[in-house]
Structure 1
Amino acid sequence: MLLHDGQPWLGANFWSRSGGPLMWRGYDSGLIARELSVLREHGMNLTRSFFYWPDFMPEPDRVDDVMVERFADFLDRHTDAGMATVPTFIVGHMSGENWDPVWRQGRDLYGDVWMVARQAWFVERMTARFHEHPAVAGWLISNEMPIYGEPATRDTVTAWAQLMVQAVRAGGGTQPVSIGDGAWGMEVTGSDNGFSVRDLAELTDFVGPHVYRMENDVVRQHLTAAFVCELAGFSGKPVVLEEFGVTDAFVSREHAAHYYRQILHNSLLAGATGWIGWNNSDYDNLHEQDPYRHHAFEMRFGLTDVDGNPKPALREVRAFAEVIAHVDLPGCVRPDSETALVVPSYLEHAYPFTEAGDHTYVFDVLRQAFVAAREADLPVRTARERDGLPAGRKLYLVPSAKQLTAPAWRDLAGFAEDGAVVYVSYSPGNHGVQRGLWHADVNGMFGVEHRLRYGLVDPVADDEVTVSFVADLGSLSAGTTLTFRAGGNEHARSYLPVRATDAEVVAVDQHGEPVLLRRSHGAGHLVLCTFPLEGMAAALPHVNPEPTYRIYDALGAMAGVSRPVTVADPLVHSAELRHRDGRRFVWLVSQAEEELTVKPVVGGRLTDLATGEPVDEVTMHPYGVRVLSHKDS
């Protein structure tokens, strides 16, 4: 966890309302002091700042002394406010426009040796000038370099990044450093832009996702940044949600506050330990200045308005700051998880003769499974096949799986033999190339005989799939009926026709076709779902909560997964953090647009965080968050 004065990084990306990216030209020290004061009053201890490259490096062998002195004053104003900043070096992209120093003249930012040397020189010079200032908390090499420099090959990008980080160290910088690329690499998104989260983590001190998603489902929207943080945390480096935010042009201020509340708390529960919102101020007075002239919505991302008045989202940041101070977040950890969400290596690795759709489809189905796990109050962690699947979990979720490697299938069978519950839902993928489940022995592993025909799919013809349980499964009793909406294209919206051989049919659809089958294997169980429930839901708008969470809840009960607190309503999610001194804290997060009253089921008792009074029922405000103390009986 990265700290400033003993507290996690919590702040805003900063451009003064006096000029946006051109603030250094008409620098107003007094105004900046006032702007910082408002942020500090609302619990922030940090900004992310920017060396606007055309101004700071007007010639290939010269930095502008006037700009440098203005940045020195900017740092002093942070010290006065009790704040720190993370300077960003190569700032050629910002808010919908790219700006080059005039001397670049189209040279490749990664592969042109002279151009790379000029960047490294600039990084080293600026670091040498400011590394001893107490207001410098860390460094970022770039701002969204995949947009400014465009995607490139992985080897080229990694070599460029290595030289930039070395330049920071050569300049005397000992503070944490990262790239500023947004963590948009293949390991997170399934799309290869050359910025490998895995490779760059070897060079850097933290991972910094930038998350601005356009979605069609409220629950997915509120949990996507959390899921990205979960995916990005595999390297063991701190995860700082380096950019996130909303513009008044796209969302009401009331819903902007809801969004900030959800992103802050949900990403915390998914492992993020730092947050830098986009951004500090509105820019209504810059309507004739690029990029705001042509990207007018960019004027309204501020946490304060153009007059410096706090907007509702900034008050949510203050409330979040109070919570993490109250629980002493630096002393807290997430409990170890007994549930593994398996991340196929096909998300991040381009095996020979595979398709781009194989990668991005994995992201979509995993995110939907993550949503269902949260709705079931399962404390889930991702487990990457690429790093070797970990043994010792009680429950393994493999949602809508088209592809795992052959050794991974054997590992999963071994985990079941050792006592785990392994759940796999079928999917043929979402395109027509080698369409089908890449598993050599699905029959032997799951105790079935599949009835597939080569080159064809068995389409889900109905818009709804009614699943009737004919046997108990964990918390789901025989006689229970669940209804699922069917989504997906002509490839993905299909099922696996099977008949049971060595498995028990647990549930069937409205046509009597097996949907869930359970096979005992050693000390554990293998559960096969013949429908791509997560994939179908991922393809649908406004679908959550959907009944997959009921199946996950049942699997958790069947596997004996520990869930300290559960809530029956899937619109209220629970999770726990534990302090090293033994205290335990429970988060309840509502995804309902109306007020809800829920009665958590708890092993022990819940008390109010502030008063210590016992809590039995909890009233949740719309999209609200409640944090409680959890004490054993």
Structure 2
Amino acid sequence: MAFGLDAAGYFTQDGKRIWPVGANYWPGSAGVEMWARFDAVREEIARDLDLVKSLGLNTVRFFLRWQDFEPVAGKYDERTFANLRTVLGMFRERGLYAHPSLFVGFMSGGLFWPKWKNANLYSPGVMRERSVAFTKRAMGVISEFKDCVIAVDQGNELCCLAESSAALPEDVVGWCGDINAAIRSVWADAIIISGNEQNQVINDTGWRFGQQPGCDLYSMHGYPVPGWHNVMFDGMTDPFCQSLLPFYTKVARAYGPVMLQEFGTIVTFGAKQQRAYLEKMLPKALESGANGFLWWCMRDITAPVHPYMSHGFEGTLGLVDAAGKVKPGLEVFIEFCRSLATRPVSAVKGDAVGAVGVYLPAQYYQRNVPGAQNNPQQYSRWLIVANHLSEMLGHEVRVVRGDQALPADLETLIVPSILLSVPEAEAIAAWVKAGGKLLWHGVDPVNYGAAYIELLGALAVDYRQPKAVTWDRFTFDAFPRNMRVEIEPRGCTVVGRDEDGLPLLLTNTLGRGKVVAALPLVDEVIARAAPNFEVGRGWYEKVFALLKG
């Protein structure tokens, strides 16, 4: 039985589309010590896989802890590799899909490496060499089970490792490529993914979309915990919270297929809150293009071992309780998974004609990028705001990549306070002239060259004190590069002026299209007010109306 990805980016088995649905897994009595305590948990693993099958789920992601397999550099524990073969055999016997993850590294708040690790994982040298060798050794076993291994995962949340951010971005890219080459040297047509999370969107850890060579698809992980995101929300019942993981999924899908490989509600005792979250989030993630759904995690962990002793809530995240019953509120996930078998698969909503585009700049990641102006820590906040408010107003939203030609069917584009390069501004101007409608916030004050002047229908004539200004009921105290520009109209219509009489909001007709531009960092001001989006909604209602008018 051969696994693949179809032209639309969804999993197939022998040419038929399938949905990987299930859970991430450690046995409850052992947790991360699964391989060290294998003889004691062998039967427990078998029972848990039987439970997975009985719930109508089909996929389990599990983890190889490197130190258990290679306790001494270059010396493998053959018994542990035999145990890996035993576990994979359990999947085969039950007709389940196995999704092994090769490098744990970061797990449940803890770090797990062999004691002999003495250098950055990604830097060329001994650690990369050992990584490649271990990958080939593990794949020697995994490749025996091509009929039940749906995909090979490089590792768990490698983007969360401090050494990812410490390494040169090109070394992270190089490690990724080397590991995938090692996988394919053993199993040429394996489906490969790297199990990363929302930091691919909101930070630059070296794990970047478009720069994971050899991966067939992207992963997305995420949880409804405000402090783990960069715009605030108020719990699982907050519609903004329910929009975040689907939006991260949407960004990943702009670069390729994407699997919702790890998600959950973190706290699993609030049935009402969990139902509210899952009933909204899961369909949104599906509409954003997710091709699989794996819960974190299958079982509560009762093992009194690190990291559960210092991160106690990590032991309570199970889909099922001690009796094997799905916890109240989490049955929504089971029902959603079962519905996928009969749910008609339509185009991803953001691909629909008429969907509003939010602009992802050609230069998004900033580390070691000459002349970098944008950064994901800041710009992702504004993307998130633009997506949420557009959806609040009933628009479907797509992610538009600035490193590609603008889609021919794109009608409306939002540039939420990005610093547009001259080539990008020129491309957008050509698109507007052909009939596009552009909403542009936070116009870059140092880029008022020919392309900007054409788009805006205005000249920059002075730089004024960057202070809080008000128009209508909207107050703005943030400006790009901390520079408040005074403009002089050259064909545009000034819609709003601040209390000093300076233009703040304008419209400009260009060719067959239209531009609505606001000079302050509108989306930053809205993001600061989150989770209260009422004023932001009022602003977006006004500017969308101007685009239509």
SS in 2 for 1:325: coil
- CA 1:509–1:40 in 2, change beyond 3 Å: closer, same or farther? farther
SS in 1 for 2:440: strand
For 2:339, give the aligned amino acid.
Answer: V
CA shift for structure 1 position 418: 1.2
Counterpart for residue 510 of structure 2: 521
Residue 538 in structure 1 maps to residue 547 in structure 2: no
Counterpart for residue 101 of structure 1: 114
Aligned pairs for 1:207-286 within 5 A: 207-212=218-223, 213-214=228-229, 215-217=231-233, 218-235=238-255, 237-248=256-267, 252-283=270-301, 285-286=302-303
Q: Name the CA distance, whole Å, in 1 between partners of 2:53 and 2:25.
A: 13
- CA 1:341–1:31 in 2, change beyond 3 Å: closer, same or farther? same
CA shift for structure 1 position 150: 3.5
Q: Deviations over 1:251-291 (max 9, x none)?
A: 734323333333322222222222222211112x22x3110
Q: Name the CA distance, whole Å, in 1 between partners of 2:110 and 2:348.
A: 40
Counterpart for residue 26 of structure 1: 37
- Contact kept, 8 Å, 1:153 with 1:193, in 2: the verdict is no
CA shift for structure 1 position 176: 0.4
Partner residue of 2:384 out of 344, 349, 367: 367
- Contact kept, 8 Å, 2:61 with 2:101, in 1: the verdict is yes
- Contact kept, 8 Å, 1:488 with 1:535, in 2: the verdict is no
SS in 2 for 1:292: coil
Counterpart for residue 115 of structure 1: 127
- CA 1:438–1:297 in 2, change beyond 3 Å: closer, same or farther? farther
Counterpart for residue 98 of structure 2: 85
Q: Deviations over 1:108-130 (max 9, x none)?
A: 32225333222222211221212
Q: Name the CA distance, whole Å, in 2 between partners of 1:491 and 1:528.
A: 13
CA shift for structure 1 position 195: 2.2
CA shift for structure 1 position 21: 0.8
Q: Name the CA distance, whole Å, in 2 between partners of 1:408 and 1:340.
A: 15
Q: Deviations over 1:349-405 (max 9, x none)?
A: 5654556x744221111110011121122222122222343445221211223x111
The unaligned stretches of length 5 or more in structure 2 are 1-9
Q: Name the CA distance, whole Å, in 1 between partners of 2:241 and 2:54.
A: 29
SS in 2 for 1:246: coil
- Contact kept, 8 Å, 2:222 with 2:245, in 1: the verdict is yes
CA shift for structure 1 position 211: 2.2
Q: Name the CA distance, whole Å, in 1 between partners of 2:133 and 2:53.
A: 34
CA shift for structure 1 position 543: 1.8
For 2:295, give the aligned amino acid.
Answer: G
Residue 457 in structure 1 maps to residue 466 in structure 2: yes
- CA 1:452–1:531 in 2, change beyond 3 Å: closer, same or farther? same
SS in 2 for 1:132: helix
Aligned pairs for 1:8-157 within 5 A: 8-27=19-38, 28-104=41-117, 106-133=118-145, 134-148=147-161, 149-151=163-165, 152-157=167-172
SS in 2 for 1:175: coil
Partner residue of 2:434 out of 418, 434, 439: 418
Counterpart for residue 191 of structure 2: 176
CA shift for structure 1 position 35: 2.2
CA shift for structure 1 position 318: 1.5
Q: Name the CA distance, whole Å, in 1 between partners of 2:101 and 2:546.
A: 46
Number of positions where the alignment pairs a residue of Structure 1 with one of Structure 2? 518
- CA 1:138–1:11 in 2, change beyond 3 Å: closer, same or farther? same
The unaligned stretches of length 5 or more in structure 1 are 429-435, 467-482, 559-633
CA shift for structure 1 position 165: 1.0
- Contact kept, 8 Å, 1:222 with 1:259, in 2: the verdict is yes
Q: Name the CA distance, whole Å, in 2 between partners of 1:109 and 1:414.
A: 45
- Contact kept, 8 Å, 1:238 with 1:273, in 2: the verdict is yes
For 2:264, give the aligned amino acid.
Answer: G
Aligned pairs for 1:461-500 within 5 A: 466=472, 483-484=473-474, 486=475, 497-498=486-487, 500=489
For 1:297, give the aligned amino acid.
Answer: F
Q: Name the CA distance, whole Å, in 1 between partners of 2:75 and 2:358.
A: 51
Q: Name the CA distance, whole Å, in 2 between partners of 1:157 and 1:512.
A: 50
Q: Name the CA distance, whole Å, in 1 between partners of 2:505 and 2:199.
A: 36
- CA 1:440–1:449 in 2, change beyond 3 Å: closer, same or farther? closer
Q: Name the CA distance, whole Å, in 2 between partners of 1:444 and 1:556.
A: 17
Residue 445 in structure 1 maps to residue 455 in structure 2: yes
Q: TM-score, normalised by structure 1?
A: 0.74
SS in 1 for 2:259: strand
Q: Deviations over 1:502-543 (max 9, x none)?
A: 223445678876554222222222222244332211122222
Counterpart for residue 2 of structure 1: 11
- CA 1:261–1:452 in 2, change beyond 3 Å: closer, same or farther? farther
- Contact kept, 8 Å, 2:365 with 2:375, in 1: the verdict is no
For 1:12, give the aligned amino acid.
Answer: A
Counterpart for residue 554 of structure 1: 545
SS in 2 for 1:345: coil
Q: Deviations over 1:413-466 (max 9, x none)?
A: 2222111212212356xxxxxxx3533254543233556425x32422x5xx53
- CA 1:505–1:541 in 2, change beyond 3 Å: closer, same or farther? same
SS in 2 for 1:8: coil
- Contact kept, 8 Å, 1:18 with 1:26, in 2: the verdict is no
For 1:324, give the aligned amino acid.
Answer: L
For 1:527, give the aligned amino acid.
Answer: V
Between 331-340 and 127-136, the greater mean CA deviation after superposition: 331-340
- Contact kept, 8 Å, 1:519 with 1:526, in 2: the verdict is yes
